[in-house]
Amino acid sequence: SQQGEEDPQALSIQEGENATMNCSYKTSINNLQWYRQNSGRGLVHLILIRSNEREKHSGRLRVTLDTSKKSSSLLITASRAADTASYFCAGTNNNDMRFGAGTRLTVKP
Amino acid sequence: GAVVSQHPSWVICKSGTSVKIECRSLDFQATTMFWYRQFPKQSLMLMATSNEGSKATYEQGVEKDKFLINHASLTLSTLTVTSAHPEDSSFYICSARDRTSGRYYNEQFFGPGTRLTVL
């Protein structure tokens, strides 16, 4: 089964705008990770946030985690056409890693 | 990070045949390996978890007799899709985790995926 839901399911923005994607999960986690996947390709790891962290930055990425609401958000600032991809959150516990439904992001040049 | 490879990267087979997909951890010991399946425009669904030397644990709804998993060594796991049918066509992704005390302790790394097309 999947870990949870992501919203929006699809997001279309203009280059230069910010993109915000949200993820909710069902069970308790040790950490939550965000991945990017280009069509038909493998996963690219973006960022990991631990359960005791609330916010983390990496370049143009900003991730927040609210364990009380079992939710996370990924913000991509100053988006580029090359950011067009599907983005997935994945919650990890002691046993395994489960993915959210994903958001398909399209950045128009 | 560590490297996980999969072979083949893509395979086309006839309905009714069996297909084996290999997953290797190249620079760490994968005490636990995971197999995921991804249908077009959908997310990754966990199929099964295997610990080295033990039988795999399958997720609900995944047929263990159809998807045979072998994790006989710390660097290799195989997924065999038996008597494949067109509905088994999917992107299969493996993942590996070292649950001992190695350099990549408890981190999970993904293979590049194998695209299976059953005609």
- Tell me the per-residue pLDDT of A32-54, one tens digit each, with 9 for 90 and over: 999 999 988 899 999 999 999 99
CB B15 within 8 A of CB B119: yes
d(CA A87, CA A75): 11
Q: Contacts of residue A95 in chain B, CB cutoff 8 Å?
A: 49
Q: Is there a contact between A40 and B112 if contact means CB atoms under 8 Å apart?
A: no
> How long a stretch of residues is chain A?
109
Asked if A39 is an interface residue toward chain B (Cβ–Cβ < 8 A), one would say no
Higher pLDDT, B87 or B100: B87
Q: What is the pLDDT averaged over residues A89-100?
A: 89
- Is the per-residue pLDDT at B112 higher than 90? yes
What is the per-residue pLDDT for A58? 96
Q: Is there a contact between B41 and A104 if contact means CB atoms under 8 Å apart?
A: yes
Q: Is there a contact between B115 and A40 if contact means CB atoms under 8 Å apart?
A: yes
Q: Contacts of residue A88 in chain B, CB cutoff 8 Å?
A: 43-44
Placement of tokens 């009714």 in the chain:
B16
CA distance, residue A18 to nearest chain B CA (Å): 23
CA dist B74 → A56, B31, B71, B114 (Å): 33, 6, 7, 20
CA distance, residue B83 to nearest chain A CA (Å): 24
CB B34 within 8 A of CB B46: yes
- Say which range, A1-5, B31-35, B112-116, has the weakest mean pLDDT: A1-5
Q: What is the pLDDT averaged over residues B41-61?
A: 92
Q: Is there a contact between A97 and B95 if contact means CB atoms under 8 Å apart?
A: yes
> How long a stretch of residues is chain B?
119
CB B35 within 8 A of CB B68: no
